[in-house]
Amino acid sequence: MSDEETKGLLSPLRRKLLMGMAAIPAITMLPRASFAQTPATSAVNTTGLAVTDTEVTVGILHSATGTMAISETGSIEAEKLAIEQINAAGGVLGRKIKFIQEDGASDWPTFAEKAKKLLVNDKVAAIMGCWTSASRKAVLPVVEQYNGMLYYPTFYEGLEQSKNVIYTGQEATQQILAGLNWIAKEKGAKSFFFVGSDYIWPRTSNKIARKHVENVLKGKVVGEEYYPLGNTQFNSVINKIKLTKPDVIFTDVVGGSNVAFYKQLKAAGIDLSKQALLTISVTEDEIDGIGGENIAGAYACMKYFQSLDNANNKAFVPAFKKMWGEKTVIGDVTQAAYLGPWLWKLTVEKAGSFDVDKIAAASPGVEFKGAPEGYVRIHENHHLWSKTRVGRAKLDGQFELIYETADLVEPDPFPKGYQ
Amino acid sequence: MFGDYSLGDLGSIFVMQGFAGLILFSVYVLMALGLAIIFGQMGVINMAHGEFMILGAYVTWMTSNFFQTYLPSLFSGYFFLAMILAFVASGALGMLVEWVLIRHLYKRPLDTLLATWGLSLMLQQAYRSVFGAREVGVELPQWMLGSLHVSDSIEVPINGVFVMCLTVLITVGVAYVMYKSRWGRQVRAVVQNRIMAGAVGINTEKVDRYTYGLGCGIAGVAGSAFTMIGSTGPTSGQLYIVDTFLVVVFGGAASLLGTIASAFSISQTQSTLEFFMSGSMAKVLTLLAVVGILMLRPQGLFALKVRK
């Protein structure tokens, strides 16, 4: 059905033809339908969303200021690119996407307030937004109360599922388990040392990782350490790592601490070409700040790397750089953010409506074949089926793909035996 | 927890952990020195201290880019020039801020808290607009990376040694300027009694401006040095501000020796505790100890005896 449409990313003509075809089944059901590709507004919008005959409004809600602007800027850029591409290809149900951008300012109550503004005042059809789990938790009751649709891009700890949210990043088990399996098999790793920042995502991720190491891989966790967010001194934990000599250092340190951690690791003489290190929190974005020379040799485990060699990604990376500058890099979350507007468009076209209830119901099974990471599909639990990949950091700040799962990994936000 | 390790292992860990504590000590002293002058001597609660540090870090980043592009042959020595430029840039901005903002607030020291906090927000957004929201990576010359190989299990980070040397140098310099030079005498006179100092012919406005500039300049050098160990982004300054105030207040605001003693005790407690428990718990216990001591001794470790 409408899934076929994703193939013709670069061909507007082909797109339009296909969209016309996709509209046919819907048209037969509508009394006052014409053969144009634009179905009547009254038919596709029964709940008073900001949809006109020519335009549909969505919201972008990220931090453009404050601490999190470092991370969220890439997501904003990716979402704008996707919207521009969708518009160039004819829009959604014949309507151009207009976006209203709000600034969450790295402050969680502000996120909730702005989400309410977008849903109540602006009547946006969907929100692309949030980055940290804290901001998503603040926005969640708002989108549920006012029945909005949120496309959330970040890999996160799981333990959540909502009719009103589509999670375009990986949940923890998707991201972690395949990486641990790989490193245990490839490096014969038996002992692991966990280092994380002290908040919900690293703690939950490490809990899952610990259960997997102990129960499935029959290995040993020789240390588990947390440092406050923003900590810049890691010499003590580095000494402990030296003392315990783990096969693998497993890290989920975030933000400015990340930079300090890798610089000090390098300065302490730990050579990442000899000491295996697996991180789930360092993307190309973070390496910009860390410096390739400080992290070269480390393994990262996630679903997307800028260097992926497939046709979709080869079109996506130049398009992104053309819009946002030659020097920008694209990390895992940026790619996931790019999926948001596309998945929403495909779902709207599958449902033949902008109504949130119909979109929520139509989401499971929606496929996006034009995803830069390759094929993705929405699961019944509103997370994505996706492949997990391991990359090795290079001096130039890019990852070299080392391993990818043969099949799509099923999202499992409430993993049994890991809680 | 030590049963599994040989005596040699334990010995080298002891050495390394001691060294980790010393590095933390130098970092604390370096970031607190500028504030010790501004808050300790002038009584200005400078919440923008971290942002002055980050200005130094950005200057270092720009210098590094400049050398890479135009003078790659001299790249190995750029860091020294970068530190001087960082001092000049942060110091100049500090003097400007003093002239525009701070000099109107000497009689209302508590208001400096709000004013400089606002300033820190403005500076953060300015960095974000100019340099972008993403963190930048400062490339270091090869000789500053890696570690000195003392024995098989003891490695000393070169950047740690560098920070330590720099700290000693700047501390000695500041101590000399504040306590031995004629200008330092004027500064202390102005701090103790502004009106009287003016009456005996000291140009108090000029002294204030240069003192504030000196404090900010030192913050800039600290920021420059911290590009080796930490991150450089618009909000990175926030990572340092709490620790910085902690060190200065705990030491007794007006005393340089107090700042050093407090940096030493906090860093040693922190790094020792970190070794036996997780980093977060170590921080909590350190802060609890500091709070406890400050309740018993509100004036800090070392307080100057002055007639009020």
B60 in a structural domain:
yes
pLDDT at A34: 40
Find the closest chain B residue to A63 by CA distance: B133
Size of interface A-B (CB pairs under 8 A): 149
pLDDT at A1: 43
C-alpha–C-alpha distance, residues A381 and A207, integer Å: 22
Using a 10 angstrom Cβ sphere, with 0-12 exposed, 13-18 middle and 19 or more buried, the burial of residue A93 is: buried
Tokens representing A318 are 């130049």
CB B79, CB B60: distance < 8 Å: yes
Please answer yes or no on whether A256 and B135 come within 8 Å at the CB atom.
Answer: yes
Would the pTM count as exceeding 0.90?
no
Give residues with Cβ within 8 angstroms of A183, minimum separation 6. Answer: A189, A248, A276, A278, A299, A390
A163: closest CA of chain B, how far (Å): 33
pLDDT at A359: 96
Name the percent of chain A lying above pLDDT 90.
74
Please answer yes or no on whether A236 and B280 come within 8 Å at the CB atom.
Answer: no
pLDDT at B140: 85
Please answer yes or no on whether A235 and B24 come within 8 Å at the CB atom.
Answer: yes
A90: closest CA of chain B, how far (Å): 32
Q: Which residues of A touch B20 (CB under 8 A)?
A: 233, 235-236, 238-239
B141 in a structural domain:
yes
A359: closest CA of chain B, how far (Å): 34
The highest-confidence range among A3-7, A36-40, A97-101, B40-44, by mean pLDDT, is A97-101
B-interface mutation test, from A62, A63, A68, A70, most B Cβ less than 10 A away = A70
- Predicted confidence (pLDDT) at residue A327 exceeds the cutoff of 50: yes
Q: Does A398 touch chain B (CB under 8 A)?
A: no
Mean pLDDT across B170-182: 92
Per the structure, the complete domain to which residue B134 belongs is given by: 9-239
CB A334, CB A285: distance < 8 Å: yes
B71 in a structural domain:
yes
Domain boundaries, chain A: 2-170+308-385, 172-302+389-404
- Predicted confidence (pLDDT) at residue B270 exceeds the cutoff of 60: yes
- Predicted confidence (pLDDT) at residue A181 exceeds the cutoff of 70: yes
Q: Which whole-number Å values give the CA distances from B133 to A136, A283, A324, B85, B156, in the listed order?
A: 21, 16, 13, 23, 33
A344: closest CA of chain B, how far (Å): 28
Q: Which whole-number Å values give the CA distances from B132 to A70, A324, B16, B126, B250, in the listed order?
A: 8, 12, 37, 9, 36
pLDDT at A375: 94
pLDDT in tens, A236-295: 899 889 888 899 999 999 877 888 899 889 888 888 999 999 999 999 988 988 889 899
Determine how β-strand A276-279 pairs with β-strand A399-404.
unpaired
Please answer yes or no on whether B279 and A237 come within 8 Å at the CB atom.
Answer: yes
C-alpha–C-alpha distance, residues A233 and B239, integer Å: 11
Please answer yes or no on whether B238 and A73 come within 8 Å at the CB atom.
Answer: no
pLDDT at A37: 62
- Predicted confidence (pLDDT) at residue A32 exceeds the cutoff of 60: no
Using a 10 angstrom Cβ sphere, with 0-12 exposed, 13-18 middle and 19 or more buried, the burial of residue A28 is: exposed
* Two domains, one topology: A2-170+308-385 and A172-302+389-404: yes
Task: Give domain A2-170+308-385's CATH architecture.
Answer: 3-Layer(aba) Sandwich (3.40)
- Predicted confidence (pLDDT) at residue A9 exceeds the cutoff of 80: no
Name the residue facing B160 among A64, A70, A267 (closest C-beta). A267
- Predicted confidence (pLDDT) at residue A390 exceeds the cutoff of 70: yes
Q: Does A275 touch chain B (CB under 8 A)?
A: no
B23 in a structural domain:
yes
B198 in a structural domain:
yes
CATH superfamily for A172-302+389-404 is Response regulator (3.40.50.2300)
Query: Among B34-38, B92-96, B215-219, which stretch is predicted with the lowest mean pLDDT?
Result: B34-38
Find the closest chain B residue to A233 by CA distance: B24
pLDDT at B126: 92
A195: closest CA of chain B, how far (Å): 10
- Predicted confidence (pLDDT) at residue B221 exceeds the cutoff of 50: yes
Q: Which residues of B touch A242 (CB under 8 A)?
A: 13, 16, 153
Q: Which residues of A touch B270 (CB under 8 A)?
A: 233
Q: Which residues of A touch B8 (CB under 8 A)?
A: none
Half-sphere exposure of A342 (CA within 13 A, CB side): 29
Mean pLDDT of chain A: 89
Query: Among A239-253, A305-319, B8-22, which stretch is predicted with the lowest mean pLDDT?
Result: B8-22
- Predicted confidence (pLDDT) at residue A209 exceeds the cutoff of 60: yes
Of the pLDDT bands very low, low, confident and very high (cuts 50, 70, 90), residue A27 is very low
Please answer yes or no on whether B279 and A289 come within 8 Å at the CB atom.
Answer: no
- What length does chain B have? 308
pLDDT at A374: 94
B307 in a structural domain:
no
pLDDT at A17: 52
Of the pLDDT bands very low, low, confident and very high (cuts 50, 70, 90), residue B143 is confident
pLDDT at A12: 53
Domain count, chain B: 1
pLDDT at A15: 53
The highest-confidence range among A74-83, A197-206, B247-256, B260-269, by mean pLDDT, is A74-83
Q: What are phi and psi of A232, to 5 degrees?
A: -120, 5
Mean pLDDT across B66-93: 92
Angle between helices B279-296 and B238-251 (to 10 degrees): 30
A326: closest CA of chain B, how far (Å): 14
Q: Does A237 touch chain B (CB under 8 A)?
A: yes
Please answer yes or no on whether B20 and A198 come within 8 Å at the CB atom.
Answer: no
- Short-list A352, A388, A354, A384, CA closest to A366: A384
Please answer yes or no on whether B133 and A231 come within 8 Å at the CB atom.
Answer: no
Q: What are phi and psi of B246, to 5 degrees?
A: -55, -50
B104 in a structural domain:
yes
pLDDT at A2: 45
Of the pLDDT bands very low, low, confident and very high (cuts 50, 70, 90), residue A21 is low
B277 in a structural domain:
no
